[in-house]
Structure 1
Amino acid sequence: MHDSPQPDTDSDTDDEALMPGLGLDMPPVPAPAPAPATGQAYRVLARKYRPQTFAELIGQDAMVQTLGNAIRRERLAHAFLMTGVRGVGKTSTARLIAKALNCIGPDGQGGPTIAPCGVCEPCVAIAEGRHIDIIEMDAASHTGIDDVREITEAVRYAAVSARYKMYIIDEAHMLSKQAWNGLLKTLEEPPPHVKFLFATTEVNKVPITVLSRCQRFDLKRIPSELLASHFTEICVKEAVVAEPDALAMIADAAEGSVRDGLSILDQAIAHADLGGHSDDAGAAMVRAEQVRSMLGLSDRGSMRRLFAHLIAGDADAMLADLDAQHGLGVDPVAVMRGLLAMVHAITLQKSAGRVRTVHGEEDRAALADWAGKLGHASLHRLWQLLLKGHDEIEQAPVPREACEMALLRALYAATLPDPGTLARRMVEAPQADAPTAPSPEPSQPQAEAPPAPDGAPPWDMADYGEPVARPEPQPIRTPGEIRTIGDIVDLLDNAGRLLLAGQVRTDMRPVEIGSDTLTYQSATGRDDYVPLLREALAEITGRRWQVERGADDALPSLAEQEKHSQDAMRDEILNHPLVKATQSAFPDAEIDWTAAEISPHEDDNLPTRSAKA
């Protein structure tokens, strides 16, 4: 039995299969389609729109003016230090300085300028990062003394083609202590053809000996309004349609960093819909809802509703809105930050009429309305409650539950009046003929908090609004009731004038006291408090008082009377037969006069004192 012939599997068959027209049954393998020509590789926005001139460097006008004046007046430092948060232009500024100092102009005859041409060979080479005399070093990966030794040995040689040989050291705070020490002498007295440019985000880690050898520039955070405007211009260049609220959210999330904002904008454009705008078919449409979802932020409208339920005391609606936010994936910390931002914006609106331009019209209207209704006391108290809740949420094992408890605490705390309002209500409450409510039985449950009067919202729409005028002073004592200096001291004590009452008690020796007159002599010679005493008595009693110093005999002051009474009581104690017998039995015993108050004994009328032997 013979085996049937097997098909040949050598490479010849494969070669023939790839050649059409040879009469073989096997179809030819299709060749791969060529990749579409896309030109250059895509560059992210943060690199594509890196500033190439000082005019394109936003938010750093003070530094640009200083550098411009230094270049025009030929007062160039040998070392510059740029510091600031991430993404504000530290490395870009270092490269711009290198271009400004080495630019030769389109005709090749120019000198240092604050506005480099960008077309000459040094400008183009520096922009492309290939200039041989502009050396960039990442201090995060070159931290040792050996790396610095290469710099100190190379600075002796002149520049090859540039006007200055420049060393740009990024993340300079990462250099080791030995590296800084090795650079100190060269940094202080470099050759005239060498410039040093340092960029760092943590200037506190740079040795003070280095800071004193550099001209320091602190780059500021970019305001959100300027960032939003900058992102709008970039969207126009990129043919992207973006809603203003979306760019405002991106600017807020950037926290003053241009690079962070451009990275978020790049992600938002990739996340956006295509053809979402009727006028720009096929263009990307960056919507606020998509950016909010991408960043995990809470909707401003939802935050306004949540805040409205909070200040209105509607716990059910507030918890329902909080559940909705949780269902959308909003972090509880983000919810609390949104409420804190709302309180902050309302306070600024109420105090100085300031409102951030990145807020929409609905936000501005709501902030203005709440600023007119809420008072300063309630806003600051609400801020403290929310801020404490924010810290608790970050540390809580279940953030959602901590957020609910914090907001409920803020809601129910609204029913409690502030100390000023409570004191005013106590003064205005009727003091006499007021029926006392019977105390509840132990088995009866106590109410948690009284409801707001007349159905008013809990958060002080009336109580904490504009300052309430002080009520007219009511007479507390009739003229016949004020007979002694002790009555005047009690009057001042009850009115809360404790310091003034103490001065009267210590210094004033009464000569004569009438219905609205007081003649006295000073025990200490310091009676500069008398004008304040006149005002206080007039405010408390509702009558003008005449308080003058007299020349007749005066009674002792209250302090002197108390001292005389204590001395008399002390003599009485010492002369008591039992005390004398005790002293005879214990000659070394001493009476501790500060251990207890003098009080009569119930049995033998002996004033009690503690004694120590």
Structure 2
Amino acid sequence: MENFVVSARKYRPADFKSVVGQEHITTTLKNAIKNNHLAQSFLFCGPRGVGKTTCARILAKTINCENKTADFEACDTCDACKSFQNNSSFNIYELDAASNNSVDDIRNLVDQVRYAPQKGQYKVYIIDEVHMLSTSAFNAFLKTLEEPPSYAIFILATTEKHKILPTILSRCQIFDFNRIQIRDIATHLTKIAEAEKVEFEEEALRLIATKADGALRDALSIFDLIVTYSAGKKVTYQETIDNLHILDYDYYFKVVDAFLAEDISEALLIFDEILKKGFDAHNFIVGLATHLRDVLVVKDPATVELLEVSDDTKARYIQQSESTSVSFLISALNIINQCDINYKMSKNQRLHVELALMKVAKLSQAFTLAKLAQAESKKKA
């Protein structure tokens, strides 16, 4: 039986052009290789799962490649590339600073730097989670980082740039990795699903991409989970929300419809159903605020593109937005936002949420009373 390989490893990018959502990084690195403007120390920083270590490995492989392609990618066929792929390259060293963060660990690394590569042009040192190094370890590393031998290149990767000493930052060429856009993650998941011959619903992949919060590795892990649940056959929207315990957006549409009908009873019954299904009331409030924001966004054609959902779902948002006014949505958002802010301090959290729902359900009536009061005051004046 063949061993299962998780998608995050199986489909890990092997060259710059296959890196997802970091074109500003990959273009700069390729141009540096092309023009022979390679810095001797790089700092890759950004959120988890966005490709920092992957880009470090691709850079290390490419600069030692013996037969680079016309667009300055690694050939994957020369001895240097093959040794890299087999994890047997003597020119690339990886150090996990989370578990090797002492002065002695850095001194051992500095000792290795003194020796030139036996084969190939560069020795590349990739230090992951570099912010975990102790202050004394950082200090022991300073001189080598500032004046390394011509054949040594250091690539430091971190998720917490603010924890790195300014003296280290000033010696590195800094690359800030972005959170990957939902559409880019969804597109990548589509390619993987097609390669694995897994049927999928577009909305399910978008939901996975949204849940991943900009981290492609997280998205691939979730994708594997859903595929396993469906016995490797199909990724559906319903199975995805069931597995990830996500509240279906249908509930938010129903709650807003109840608001527009000024039906307090219906809003409270929907909220009760949500609680009975095991969903957290605070998460419901946060999701409702997001839904109201999305309804507000689609009221203006100029901001519709800010809504990253499928065309069918976007049509539902547009339809609901036509039944609401901007003043209603802003007032509702303010009430729900205050509910979110004060939720933790409330002694009776269910009642706290229910009061917010009642207030929003009677907003239209409040607007009418305010207009009448204003008209009355003008008459008296």
Same fold (TM over 0.5): yes
The corresponding residue for 1:65 is 27
Report the Cα offset of residue 157 of structure 1: 0.8
**Deviation readout 1:228-267 (Å, 9 max, x if unpaired):** 1110110111111111111111011000100000000010
Change in Cα spacing, 1:393 to 1:284, as seen in structure 2 (3 Å) is farther
Report the Cα offset of residue 378 of structure 1: 2.7
**Deviation readout 1:375-417 (Å, 9 max, x if unpaired):** 3333222212111212333455665443323322333355323
The corresponding residue for 1:220 is 178
The corresponding residue for 1:313 is 262
Given the alignment, which residue of 297, 321, 330 partners 1:380?
330
In structure 2, C-alpha distance between the alignment counterparts of 1:419 and 1:218, rounded to whole Å: 52
Report the Cα offset of residue 48 of structure 1: 1.0
Task: State the secondary structure of the residue aligned to 2:174.
Answer: strand
Say whether residues 1:128 and 2:128 are aligned partners: no
In structure 2, C-alpha distance between the alignment counterparts of 1:194 and 1:113, rounded to whole Å: 24
CA contact (8 A) 2:69 2:75 kept: no
Report the Cα offset of residue 327 of structure 1: 2.4
Report the Cα offset of residue 365 of structure 1: 2.6
Change in Cα spacing, 1:269 to 1:397, as seen in structure 2 (3 Å) is farther
Say whether residues 1:98 and 2:98 are aligned partners: no
The corresponding residue for 1:406 is 356
Given the alignment, which residue of 170, 181, 189 partners 2:147?
189
Given the alignment, which residue of 342, 360, 376 partners 1:392?
342
Report the Cα offset of residue 426 of structure 1: 4.3
Report the Cα offset of residue 367 of structure 1: 2.1
**Deviation readout 1:216-235 (Å, 9 max, x if unpaired):** 11110111111111101101
Change in Cα spacing, 1:320 to 1:423, as seen in structure 2 (3 Å) is closer
Report the Cα offset of residue 421 of structure 1: 4.9
Report the Cα offset of residue 337 of structure 1: 2.3
Report the Cα offset of residue 356 of structure 1: 5.0
2:9 aligned partner, one-letter code: R
Say whether residues 1:148 and 2:106 are aligned partners: yes
The corresponding residue for 1:229 is 187
Say whether residues 1:294 and 2:243 are aligned partners: yes
**Deviation readout 1:457-498 (Å, 9 max, x if unpaired):** xxxxxxxxxxxxxxxxxxxxxxxxxxxxxxxxxxxxxxxxxx
In structure 2, C-alpha distance between the alignment counterparts of 1:195 and 1:112, rounded to whole Å: 23
- TM-score, length basis structure 2: 0.93
Given the alignment, which residue of 130, 138, 145 partners 1:180?
138
- What is the aligned-residue identity percentage? 33
Report the Cα offset of residue 172 of structure 1: 0.6
Task: State the secondary structure of the residue aligned to 2:118.
Answer: coil
Change in Cα spacing, 1:421 to 1:132, as seen in structure 2 (3 Å) is farther
Change in Cα spacing, 1:413 to 1:195, as seen in structure 2 (3 Å) is same
In structure 1, C-alpha distance between the alignment counterparts of 2:77 and 2:226, rounded to whole Å: 34
CA contact (8 A) 2:39 2:173 kept: yes
Given the alignment, which residue of 366, 390, 402 partners 2:316?
366
| Bigger relative contact order, structure 1 or 2 (CA pairs below 8 A, ≥6 apart) | 2
The corresponding residue for 2:203 is 245
Change in Cα spacing, 1:68 to 1:362, as seen in structure 2 (3 Å) is closer
In structure 2, C-alpha distance between the alignment counterparts of 1:113 and 1:397, rounded to whole Å: 63
How many residue pairs are counted as aligned between the two chains?
380
Q: Which one has a larger percent helix, Structure 1 or Structure 2?
A: 2
Say whether residues 1:81 and 2:81 are aligned partners: no
Task: State the secondary structure of the residue aligned to 1:350.
Answer: coil
Alignment of 1:249-328 (within 5 A): 249-272=207-230, 274=231, 284-328=233-277
In structure 2, C-alpha distance between the alignment counterparts of 1:368 and 1:127, rounded to whole Å: 49
Given the alignment, which residue of 166, 181, 184 partners 2:124?
166
In structure 1, C-alpha distance between the alignment counterparts of 2:34 and 2:64, rounded to whole Å: 14
In structure 2, C-alpha distance between the alignment counterparts of 1:334 and 1:293, rounded to whole Å: 15
CA contact (8 A) 2:328 2:363 kept: no
Q: Aligned-pair RMSD on alpha carbons?
A: 2.3
CA contact (8 A) 1:164 1:193 kept: yes
CA contact (8 A) 1:296 1:331 kept: no
Alignment of 1:14-93 (within 5 A): 38-39=1-2, 41-93=3-55
CA contact (8 A) 1:137 1:167 kept: yes
In structure 2, C-alpha distance between the alignment counterparts of 1:398 and 1:254, rounded to whole Å: 32
CA contact (8 A) 1:225 1:357 kept: no
Say whether residues 1:204 and 2:204 are aligned partners: no
In structure 2, C-alpha distance between the alignment counterparts of 1:195 and 1:412, rounded to whole Å: 64
The corresponding residue for 1:415 is 365
Structure 1: which 5+ runs fail to align?
1-37, 275-282, 433-613
Alignment of 1:442-453 (within 5 A): none
In structure 1, C-alpha distance between the alignment counterparts of 2:161 and 2:227, rounded to whole Å: 35
In structure 2, C-alpha distance between the alignment counterparts of 1:111 and 1:183, rounded to whole Å: 35
Change in Cα spacing, 1:167 to 1:397, as seen in structure 2 (3 Å) is farther
